[in-house]
Amino acid sequence: MTRRLLILAITALLVSADRGRAAEAAPPAALDTKQIEQLTGAKGQLDAAAGVFKVSVARSDLDVHTGGARMTPPLGLTSWAAFTRAGEHIAMMGDIVLLEDQVNPAMSAALDAGLDVTALHNHFLLDSPKVMFMHVGGMGSERELATAVGKVFATVKQTSGGKGVFPNADIDPERSTLDPMKIEAILGVAGNLKDGVYKVVVGRTTKMGGHVMGGSMGVNTWAAFAGSDTAALVDGDVAMLQSELQPVLRALRARGIQIVAIHNHMTEEEPRMIFLHYWGVGTSVKLAESVRAALDLTRSATP
């Protein structure tokens, strides 16, 4: 290699290295806060030091009392979603304030828009009307996440004032006439019929302190059916790994099953178990098929 070519090669390497260092030192692109506000339909506030932009929607439309005290948005009745950069993507976490009849419409809106639903629970006791809190999250582009959050906020607004849905059923277990064999044929698991309720339990296992904890210790998926073959109810609990939560949620909501809680029952177990409580009404066969769909998405001990 001639002296001139050698000098050119070294120069090119130095320039490339300088560009690489400049790229590493360059700060990440700022969040487009105006776009986030526009797509979510909510005003936000930037925490520049943390690199987080948080939009909020106060549930000032609610008249909630807890233990005789009137609850206002600053006391915890404010929905929010926070955005921050995470490498090449945007991360979003949020908490949506909902009345009971709004939970499943808002959940479907979140799931259909590509968000994860990570928890559903209460924050108060003796509140009237009952308020639930749905935690959501996601990772993707700023536009995708902000658009998804906007759809959830829009659904909450559309269902306010008692416009949400929750199926009711005039069912008394004492008058149950459903055929347990139809349910067993679908689930592939035998249950027990007692006091008009046919209950199926499918065990799972995890470990706590190195000891196996199984179905008898409460680590199980169960479903309880009552009513008739044509008008039945099911309520139950799905025990699942964290990786199974989103597929199970989507499968149950696609079949019209109401999700009523998502939380943990234990701490420090391995693997981590999430529990999803649900409710549904319909024919006994359709309800059993919905439960079967959830079982098929988990590693439960079914045939």
- pLDDT at 279 (0 to 100): 97
Query: Hey, what are 120's tokens?
Result: 């559903």
Residues 141 and 197 in one domain: no
Instruction: Using the 3D structure, point to which of 159, 191, 212 is the last residue of a domain.
Output: 159
Residues 140 and 248 in one domain: no
Q: Is residue 24 part of a domain?
A: no
Q: Is residue 256 part of a domain?
A: yes
Residues 155 and 177 in one domain: no
The burial class, CB within 10 Å (0-12 / 13-18 / 19+), for 168 is exposed
Residue 56 belongs to what domain range? 33-159
Q: Which residue is associated with the tokens 């790229």?
A: 23
Residues 105 and 186 in one domain: no
- pLDDT at 71 (0 to 100): 97
Three-state SS sequence of the chain: CCHHHHHHHHHHHHHHHHHHHHHHHCCCCCCCHHHHHHHHCCCEEEECCCCEEEEEEECCCCCEEECCEEECHHHCCEEEEEEEEECCEEEEEEEEEEEHHHHHHHHHHHHHCCCEEEEEECCCCCEECCEEEEEEEEEECHHHHHHHHHHHHHHHHHHCCCCCCCCCCCCCHHHCCCCHHHHHHHHCCCCEEECCEEEEEEECCEEECCEEECHHHCCEEEEEEEECCCCEEEEEEEEEEHHHHHHHHHHHHHCCCEEEEEECCCCCCECCEEEEEEEEEECHHHHHHHHHHHHHCCCCCCC
Strand partners, 236: 223, 278
Residues 138 and 83 in one domain: yes
Rounded Cα gap, residues 117 and 263, in angstroms: 11
Q: Is residue 186 part of a domain?
A: yes
Rounded Cα gap, residues 56 and 190, in angstroms: 48
Query: Hey, what are 54's tokens?
Result: 């948080």
Q: Is residue 126 part of a domain?
A: yes
Residues 186 and 126 in one domain: no
Residues 215 and 180 in one domain: yes
Show Cβ contacts of residue 156 under 8 Å, excluding neighbours closer than 6 positions: 57, 79, 96, 97, 98, 102, 106
Domain count, the chain: 2
Residues 187 and 286 in one domain: yes
Instruction: Using the 3D structure, point to which of 126, 159, 192 is the last residue of a domain.
Output: 159
- The closest alpha carbon to 214, from 273, 146, 148, 291, belongs to 273
Residues 53 and 131 in one domain: yes
Residues 183 and 284 in one domain: yes
Instruction: Using the 3D structure, point to which of 159, 181, 207 is the last residue of a domain.
Output: 159
One-letter amino acid of 22: A
Q: Is residue 8 part of a domain?
A: no
Q: Is residue 303 part of a domain?
A: no
CATH number at residue 81: 3.30.70
Report CA-CA distances (Å) from 86 to 20, 116, 126, 220: 20, 17, 39, 36
pLDDT in tens, the chain (303 residues): 455 545 555 555 555 555 555 445 455 678 999 999 999 999 999 999 999 999 999 999 999 999 999 999 999 999 999 999 999 999 999 999 999 999 999 999 999 999 999 999 999 999 999 999 999 999 999 999 999 999 999 999 999 999 998 888 899 999 999 999 999 999 999 999 999 999 999 999 999 999 999 999 999 999 999 999 999 999 999 999 999 999 999 999 999 999 999 999 999 999 999 999 999 999 999 999 999 999 999 976 544
Q: Is residue 21 part of a domain?
A: no
Residues 116 and 186 in one domain: no
- The closest alpha carbon to 219, from 232, 235, 207, 231, belongs to 207
Spell 203-242 as b/e; 16+ CB within 10 A means b. Answer: bbbbeeeeeebebeebbbbbbbbbbeeeebbbbbbbbbee
- pLDDT at 167 (0 to 100): 86
Q: Is residue 168 part of a domain?
A: no
Q: Which pTM was predicted?
A: 0.88
Q: Are 240 and 222 in contact (CB under 8 A)?
A: no
Residues 150 and 180 in one domain: no
